[in-house]
Amino acid sequence: MECFNAEIPADGVVNSIETEEISENVVKADETTLANGEDEAGKAGEEYAYLERNEFTSEIFKVEVKNMGYFGIGEFKKLLRNTLKFDVTKIKAPTRKEFAFVCFRSQEDQQRALEILNGYKWKGKVLKAHVAKASADPLQKKRAAEEQESERKPKKQRTAVEATCPLSHIAYDQQIKQKSEEMSALLAKYTQELRKVNPRAKPHLDKFQFHEVLPSPTVNGYRNKNEFTVGKNSVGEVVVGFRLGCYSDGSVEVAEVADLPHLPEQAKWAARSFQDLVRKSKFLPFNPDGNIGHFRQLMVRCSSATGELMLVAGIYSSNLSEDEQVELKQELKSFYEDLAKDAPYKCSSLYYQDVKHREAGQTINPVEHISGSTHITDTIQGLQFRISPLAFFQINTEGANVLYQKAIDLVAPTKDTTMLDICCGTGTITLAFAKHCKKVMGVEIVPDAIKDAEFNAEANGIKNAKFFTGNADDFIKSMVREALYDQEPGKPLDLIAVVDPPRAGLHHRSIAAIRSADAINRLVYVSCNPHSAKRNFIELARPESKQYKGEPFYPKSAVAVDMFPHTMHTELVILFEREPKTKADEKSSPAEGAAQSKSEATEEAVSEENTTSVT
């Protein structure tokens, strides 16, 4: 999946009050009243001003639960949601502490939780619950701290190039060398850890090979998708560009993108033109410090194959009437229609996106087509792909050609192979494998992406592809059953799986589903964030246990592709294989399996404490 590339989209920072990261100075906020004068009281008030806005925040209905003893965030979630049937919006639990914070949607829900949790017996402990203080606005909190430290030297702000392209000052061959060394070190750490987790992996790890980091065919101007933020620069000018920091760090400054080497000229023009529009419009740029204004972000998608340019204008509509929204949409449409007459580039597809606080259960911000075509088209592996506004598509098109070919080379499918693409997106990997396999199947949770995948299969004349909409965990077994059903009687099934998950990697339930599907003997894992995916690599290869049934997948070989020149990131492809169970495996003691399950439960609890929240 697309890797985080130091740029920070506005959607990821608007409601930073609701972020799940915890530090003790926040979760153990002093409950005592500040009595150091009106100035201090005023500053403290600013830190909580967001509570007075006409916008929902679950921080208003927060409960602190104490005397919990050691617990895993996963089991606590099950208690709250499954056993006690609470409607929880968020759980915040510092690592290795005996307390947690729980946020609710209403005062009624909060009061019910207080009545039930206070005195509730859980895991041998009697829980205590009371109303908790809301967390402070991180931006205002940092500003207050900086004012108190007026004598300290001001920190030099990064430039846009330093923030998004930290390696651009290094020759490209040296970038590849540096990334190769870093990837080798990461894989050495992984194999060392795996030797401890599963001693039987040793003979496989002794033969494991990391080949190299392959360069991107296109070094400059390779990004076909960018999300720009509307804001102000250091001198107060309205700018459409990249954020230089994040809201929780106290930064809202935006820098222009004209000097960034990884952006194509089309994308730079799109940012400049939208900047001109915002500066002329009566509607205001969005400001996260108070959630005021309207123009919030601009997503730009461009095709190197066709030259098409898609713009998705992100508008904060909470403070706009319906008539004003209609007026703003017409302003967008008219501006780009008039601009097309003598501009060097043309907006071929224009969308309006309502970017505001999401409602319960809402996972994406809706888009509305305004003018032009509804999709753009790009090419990978000689295949044409239709791309919708919110669908995933590799951001480096030429690099994707290399990446997919290496994935195909590693697993070496034949005309007897059936391939399962888990997290298939618009079907790019699925369809790239199709001509090498008997049958390919893909599953994706985003319905529009599956519509694109089915369209792309038909447009490219591919008849041996089938796609499913839904959670991958629920479809892995059914896809395996379909592959077994299609297999000629008496002929061994050659079934491979490919996973290309988001940056955080696969959920452990997905890993468990893949492990338990005995028919899958080979797995290709494509990761844009190998540091995060290392957890999955361990889960695939740890010994069989109650949680992870099925023989382990051992790493066989790996190759990396530099999908993100000038940045610190690299895409890694690893081939995993598993072998039939041996007599030695069957004789492993129950005690060993029990100890392994206990170890996994502990690791899972710690991992979820650090990364999981209820939304």
What is each CA distance from 406 to 179, 221, 273, 380, 537, in whole angstroms? 18, 23, 38, 13, 19
Contacts of 239 (CB under 8 A, 6+ apart): 230, 231, 232, 233, 254, 255, 256, 275
Phi, psi (deg, nearest 5) at residue 162: -65, -35
Residue 40 among known ligand-binding residues: no
- Nearest CA to 316 among 340, 294, 336? 294
Distance of CA 45 to the CA centre of its chain: 34
Rounded CA separation 187/211 (Å): 11
424 catalytic? Reply is no
User: What does the block give as tokens for 605?
Assistant: 């609890």
- In the numeric block, the tokens 């979760």 are attached to 27
DSSP characters over 20-49? ----HHHHT---SPP-S-HHHHHHHHHHTG
The H-assigned helical ranges of 340-413 are: 397-411
User: What does the block give as tokens for 152?
Assistant: 């300290």
- In the numeric block, the tokens 């995933």 are attached to 392
DSSP characters over 295-350? EEEEEEEE-TTT--EEEEEEE--TT--HHHHHHHHHHHHHHHHHHTTT-SS---EE
What is each CA distance from 136 to 34, 72, 83, 104, 144, in whole angstroms? 14, 26, 31, 17, 11
AA letter at 165: C
User: What does the block give as tokens for 196?
Assistant: 């401890």
Q: How many CB atoms lie within 10 A of CB 324?
A: 14
Residue 394 among known ligand-binding residues: yes
User: What does the block give as tokens for 431?
Assistant: 């369809």
Provide the pairing of β-strand 439-444 with 465-469. Answer: parallel
Q: Which helix or strand (DSSP H or E) is residue 560 part of?
A: strand 554-561
Q: Which helix or strand (DSSP H or E) is residue 228 part of?
A: strand 225-232
| 573 strand-pairing partners | 526, 559
User: In terms of C-beta density within 10 A (0-12 exposed, 13-18 middle, 19 or more buried), how is residue 462 classed?
Assistant: middle
Q: How many CB atoms lie within 10 A of CB 397?
A: 22
Residue 98 · residue 67 · CB < 8 Å: yes
307: left (phi over 0), alpha (psi -120 to 50) or beta: left
User: What does the block give as tokens for 493?
Assistant: 């099934």
Provide the pairing of β-strand 417-422 with 439-444. Answer: parallel
Catalytic residue set? 528
Would you list which residues are annotated within the binding site?
A: 394, 444, 500
Would you list which residues are annotated within the binding site for S-adenosyl-L-methionine?
A: 394, 444, 500
